[in-house]
């Protein structure tokens, strides 16, 4: 082996033993995990209270929909479709930081993500309300123990049949191919799929849906605050089910 080759080998060994090389390797590993397997997500708004509160940090399973179909009741993180309205404008520095987040999966990104509960899947008909004010899916009223501060509904006085209808009422909405309907658990404080439909003057195209490619994954684990820390069993106990 020539002296030049020996020196090059020594330089490579020194590099791979250096803290910088370890930092780069760790960054690559974390980026791959957050980009394809698990993503740490910070809850940005109160639309999912009390299931998820502002500032909660949760772990999103990005493989959840790789092999199974999305299910009603999933607490789902999805990319905000353009039809849901414009996203926030970012300056050049924030855009650069967002680009780093897009590439590595670490920190904020330029893509706006939203977390809601998946209520309707393609082929479903979703409506509100049943006689007791319940949400119905395919004509069946569903139990929603997770709903927080629902919109007012008073059977016989202010419901879906009275002159002044309850603001809880909407639909029926028939979901087409690749249309998923998502609602917030804090039903009276959620800009969700039917927010623009809760009015007698609502347009026929008021519903906002997400496509399968928009769905990133399901919330599986609380990371912070620590009193909520736990896996999917604890989370399911908090969110209930629409199955």
The whole-number average pLDDT for the span 156-175 is 94
Helix axes 92-104, 19-36, angle to 10 degrees: 80
Pairwise pLDDT comparison (220 vs 31), residue with the higher score: 220
CA-angle at 202, arms to 201 and 205, nearest 5°: 145
Q: What is the pLDDT of residue 229?
A: 73
Average pLDDT of every residue of the chain: 81
Q: What is the pLDDT of residue 217?
A: 93
Could you report the per-residue pLDDT of 42-67, keeping only the tens digit for each?
898 999 999 999 989 898 999 999 88
Q: How many CA atoms lie within 13 A of 198 on its CB side?
A: 22
Q: What is the pLDDT of residue 80?
A: 93
**What strands, in cross-sheet order, belong to the sheet with 170-174?**
140-141, 135-137, 125-128, 170-174
Q: What is the pLDDT of residue 188?
A: 96
Task: Give the position of tokens 């299910």.
Answer: 71
**Of residues 86, 72, 168, the one with CA closest to residue 125:** 72
Q: What is the pLDDT of residue 173?
A: 96
Percent of the chain with pLDDT over 90: 51
Could you report the per-residue pLDDT of 98-123, keeping only the tens digit for each?
556 655 555 666 678 899 999 999 99
Could you report the per-residue pLDDT of 192-211, keeping only the tens digit for each?
999 999 987 888 889 999 99
Could you report the per-residue pLDDT of 147-164, keeping only the tens digit for each?
999 999 999 999 999 999
Question: Given a cut of 90, is residue 97 above it in pLDDT?
Answer: no
Task: Give the Cα separation of 17 and 71 in Å (integer).
Answer: 47
């Amino acid at each position: 082996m020539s002296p030049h080759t020996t020196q090059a080998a020594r330089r490579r060994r020194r590099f791979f033993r250096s803290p910088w090389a370890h930092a780069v390797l760790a960054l690559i590993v974390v980026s791959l995990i957050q980009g394809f397997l698990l993503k740490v997500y910070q809850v940005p708004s109160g639309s999912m209270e009390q299931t998820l509160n502002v500032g909660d940090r949760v772990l999103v399973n990005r493989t959840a929909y790789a092999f199974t179909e999305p299910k009603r009741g999933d607490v789902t993180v999805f990319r905000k479709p353009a039809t849901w309205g414009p996203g926030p404008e970012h300056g050049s520095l924030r855009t650069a930081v967002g680009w780093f987040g897009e590439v590595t999966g670490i920190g904020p990104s330029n893509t706006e993500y939203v977390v809601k509960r998946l209520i309707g899947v393609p082929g479903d008909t979703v409506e509100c309300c049943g006689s007791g004010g319940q949400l119905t899916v395919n004509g069946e009223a569903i139990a929603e123990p997770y709903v927080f501060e629902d919109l007012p509904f008073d059977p016989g006085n202010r419901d879906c049949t009275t002159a002044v209808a309850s603001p809880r009422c909407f639909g029926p909405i028939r979901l087409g191919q690749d249309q998923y309907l998502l609602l917030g658990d804090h039903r009276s404080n959620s800009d969700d799929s039917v927010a623009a439909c809760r009015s007698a003057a609502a347009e026929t195209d008021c519903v906002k849906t997400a496509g399968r490619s928009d769905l990133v994954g399901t919330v599986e684990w609380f990371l912070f605050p620590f009193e909520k820390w736990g896996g999917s069993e604890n989370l399911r106990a908090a969110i209930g089910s629409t199955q």
